[in-house]
Structure 1
Amino acid sequence: MARTRRPAAHPRSAIFAPLGDEGRATRVEKRIAEAIYSGVLADGERLPSEPELAAMLGVATVTAREALVALRAQGLVTTTRGRGGGSFVNRPRHPDEAVLNGRLASTSNVELRDRATLYTVVVAGCAEVAAAYAGADDVAQLRELVPDEDVADPARWRHADAELTLSIAALTQSARLTRELVRLEAAFGSLVRLPFMDPAFRSAARGRQVALLAALEGGDGDAARAQAREHVAQSLAWLLEQKAALPGSGTTSDSGGL
């Protein structure tokens, strides 16, 4: 199966940007864990060696080693020895729709809107800034991430939408902004993409993705921001409607958490 080309600017570069003076093992661990949960680091992907990881992040080799030990303890990384060995990503299975519906039912409307508000600000901001930097080649590669209309697999749509969102963030050339989105994706991304189970939502979402890429190609930051905001707004509206129809969700409209 042919591999999809990745945009030249990729969120992976933000994950391995130097940590600076705060480069403790817990921060290395957290950054890599968030990258795994958000999908920036793919299942089975080989991580840099301990010395390479330490050099990339600007920390001591022992710090990188401690972080990898902690990630192995969480089951997020596996390490093999010998020729061809190394540390490899062991990404947890993506929650199925039953699990996500359970999380949705136990989340208050207030919490859901609050998380969506923060997510919107970051995603829309990334789209606006990326419009100033995106070149024709960047947009051409982003278009390859958008599934064809006849694709019916919700998981493929969710993965594509996450990849598109994170790749646009990488085009901002801001490692801090990209890492903030990675953090939000790890905490909220799977839920915000639950609506891709709905064929009507998928069709409308594809239209928004195409319009967003056209805005990026035209360097129109306002239009890019508007499309990104609308995409999250439609997802939130779908989630609230779905939540209202779920058994037992009526008792959690003002309490609970994600």
Structure 2
Amino acid sequence: MGTTARHGTRTRNAIFAPLEEVGRATRVEQRLADAIRSGVLRDGERLPSEAELAAMLGVATVTAREALVALRAQGLISTVRGRNGGSYVTRARLHDPDAQAERLAAMSLVELHDRGTLHVVLLTGCAEVAAERADGGDVDVLESLLPAAGDTDPGHWRHADAELYLSLAALSQSARMTRQVVALEADFGALLRQPLGTPEFQELTRACHEELFAALRAHDGDGARTAVRRQLAGALDELALLRASQR
């Protein structure tokens, strides 16, 4: 199995795992919306059919259909008719820099701290569990996600950082925890990665992630937690400064 396939399999399995009980369309809609906003489901990707979604999630076909209708209304998917038809992810507009700047300016310091604390607690926990369970191949996948040396493109860094943390969550081997991280990424991830627009923070991020990889290879849970905490704390500090500069 290639590194890309290995990386995505656990996260996708968590997204398409059966709901705990037959739920309403809003539950299906929320799970898929989180997966789109967080980047688990990529722009232009074709979703399973209504019947396939219903079977995978353990709901009625009509429930899956209602969820897809709601996602179309939000602009998160589009539907193409015909031989190669189906529902396709449309997430290209989700990370508009101006929209993120407006969101940050409107956010209080208390809210920023609250969301950041949740991010830190959940992802450091994932790092500790992953240190127990990851093997060398898993760490190779994570390392392959880092942009190449000299690459300072903010888009590349933001995408890579999101992929890395989603992969780290999947290494917990807990579908429930993985879905929690997906939801967290959908809610706050794009904003948290705004500091990756500068080469200085990119270098801090690279150093923290390399510390994380070393800790995972050594099955060092404390070291993995420390590396993740340092990177996220740096991002939150930079966000607070960016927010202050907008006022």
The TM-score with structure 2 as length reference comes to 0.94
Query: d(CA) in 1 for partners of 2:70 and 2:94?
Result: 21
Counterpart of 1:173?
Answer: 173
> Amino acid of the residue matched to residue 5 of structure 1?
T
Q: How far does residue 213 in structure 1 lie from its aligned partner after superposition?
A: 1.3
Q: Secondary structure at the match of 1:87?
A: strand
Q: Distance in 2 between matches of 1:63 and 1:96?
A: 31
What code does the residue aligned with 2:60 have? Answer: A
Deviation at residue 98 of structure 1 after TM alignment: 3.3
Deviation at 1:5, TM superposition (A): 2.1
Give the match for residue 255 of structure 1. none
Out of 132-141 and 153-162, give the one that drifted further. Answer: 132-141
> Structure 2 counterpart of 1:227, which letter?
A
Name the CA distance, whole Å, in 2 between partners of 1:128 and 1:42: 28
Residue ranges of structure 2 left out of the alignment (5+ in a row): none
The residue number in structure 2 matching 1:145 is 145
Q: Aligned Cα RMSD in Å?
A: 1.5
Q: CA deviation at 1:6?
A: 4.2
Q: Partners in 2 of 1:164 and 1:173 — Cα distance?
A: 15
- Aligned-pair CA distance for 1:245: 1.8
Q: What letter is aligned with 1:34?
A: D
Asked if residue 25 in structure 1 is aligned to residue 25 in structure 2, the reply is: yes
1:122 maps to what in 2?
122
Residue 182 in structure 1 maps to residue 186 in structure 2: no
Q: CA deviation at 1:128?
A: 0.8
Q: What SS is found at the alignment partner of 2:64? A: helix
Query: Conserved in 1, the CA contact under 8 Å of 2:79 and 2:85?
Result: yes
Cα distance in 1 for partners of 2:218, 2:22 equals: 39
Contact 2:33 2:76 in 1 (8 A): yes
Report the residue type matching 2:44 in the other structure: G
Tell me if structure 2 keeps the 8 A contact 1:76–1:92: no
Question: Would you say the 8 A contact 1:37–1:92 is kept in 2?
Answer: no
Separation in structure 1 between the aligned mates of residue 32 and residue 84 of structure 2, nearest angstrom: 22
Match of 1:7, as an amino acid?
R
**1:147-205 deviation line (CA, Å, top 9, x unaligned):** 12301110110000000000110111111111111111111001110000111110111
1:34-53 equivalences under 5 Å are: 34-53=34-53
Q: Structure 1 residues 143 and 6, CA, compared in 2 at 3 Å: closer, same or farther?
A: farther
Identity rate, percent? 57
Equivalences, count: 245
Give the drift of 1:97: 3.1
Q: Counterparts of 1:102 and 1:86 in 2: how far apart (Å)?
A: 34
Structure 1 101/73 Cα, relative in aligned 2: closer, same or farther at 3 Å?
Answer: closer
In structure 2, C-alpha distance between the alignment counterparts of 1:239 and 1:121, rounded to whole Å: 18
The answer to whether the 8 A contact 1:14-1:176 is kept is yes
CA distance in 2, matches of 1:73, 1:98: 22
Stretches of structure 1 lacking an aligned partner (at least 5 in a row): 249-258
SS of aligned partner of 2:79: strand
Separation in 2 of the partners of 1:165 and 1:35? 14
Task: Indicate the structure with greater helix content.
Answer: 2
Q: Residue 4 of structure 1: CA displacement?
A: 7.3
Q: Structure 2 matches for 1:1-258, cutoff 5 A?
A: 5-8=4-7, 9-246=9-246, 248=247
- Distance in 2 between the 1:114 and 1:210 partners? 27
Preserved contact between residue 134 and residue 216 of structure 1 (Cα < 8 Å)? yes
